Amino acid sequence: MAQIETSVEIAAPAELVFAFFVPQRMPYWYGADMEACLEVQGGAPDFAVSQKVRVTGHLGKREVSHTSVVTALQPARVFEWRFEDRYGVKGLERWEFERLAGPTLESAPRTIVRMRSAYTMPGLLGKAMDWLMTRHAVAKRNQDYLARLKGYAEHGEPE
């Protein structure tokens, strides 16, 4: 199983950062490169544990999608889902939020967001492709996602 960990420090409180982990706002930073659309089971306005979420988008002219199930949700602390796509790629994505105390009470609150992607690709060819290309692409993609999240949470343009 491949495991990719990425983190970013955001100059905003964890509650504000977590406000971007709702179905309506998440596509602004998660999957923005593929114009992702999140369809939540029952059309719910917020995520809930055990809820199914379908993530669809486009890579070039090809439509891609996977189904996720929310497996952990603690506001401003953790968000996690497990996923599987039609090609047999299975895994999880987990975001953990760590509040940082400023040097003084007047300092702006800061949050470290840690994103972990863990996945398996089927077959020997899948494992070889992962070792050669996929894990590097996932690491870059996750860095881009977190940079975009940082930009929105800090009320500026994503870097």
* 114 within domain boundaries: yes
The CATH number given to whatever domain includes residue 10 is: 3.30.530.20
Average confidence (pLDDT) over 56-61: 87
Torsion of CA 8, 12, 15, 19, to 10 degrees: -80
Per the document, the length of the chain is: 159
User: pLDDT tens digits for 77-101?
Assistant: 999 999 998 888 999 999 999 999 7
User: Domain span at residue 50?
Assistant: 2-153
In a domain, 83, yes or no: yes
In a domain, 159, yes or no: no
In a domain, 158, yes or no: no
Number of structural domains (the chain) is: 1
pLDDT of the residue at 62: 86
pLDDT tens-digit series, residues 2-39: 899 999 999 999 999 999 999 999 999 998 888 899 99
Tell whether 112 is covered by a domain. Answer: yes
Average the pLDDT over 122-133 and give the result: 80
What pLDDT was estimated at residue 122?
A: 87
pLDDT tens-digit map of 138-159 = 999 999 999 999 999 998 554 5
This prediction's pTM: 0.88
